[in-house]
Structure 1
Amino acid sequence: MVDSFIFKQPVFVDGLVSFYVNIIKIGRTSINADVLVYTQCENGKKVCIQVAETMLTNVSIDNNR
């Protein structure tokens, strides 16, 4: 489940996108994670900028999933 998703900047076609995940909480059947999204290319420059962030909750449905 996506709790929130915030787009801060556009990502250009030639941009390299990196996702950094910070585990907030690990429960018995769920994991909460904060994800920061960065790109390393802004108008051809080698500049690292944050383009999005999201808070995710992954929940186990049963033993097979």
Structure 2
Amino acid sequence: MDEDELPPIDEALVRELDKRFPAKYPELTTPEREVWYRAGQRALVDYLIEHFRKQTEDD
């Protein structure tokens, strides 16, 4: 498997992760550590969405 290849990504999983970890701005009162933690969660979701799109375009 190529370094950029992933196993098939399920659309339902991508949709659910997108709902559970939405892209939103933090409140000004949110601790910095939590901001970075949530940013990491969202970065993974965005990564999976991008690879899902690539996989569905290849079909």
* TM-score with structure 1 setting the length: 0.27
* TM-score with structure 2 setting the length: 0.28
Q: Which has the higher strand share?
A: 1
Q: Which has the higher contact order (CA 8 A, sep 6+)?
A: 2
Work out which of the two has the higher radius of gyration on C-alpha atoms and give 1 or 2.
Answer: 1
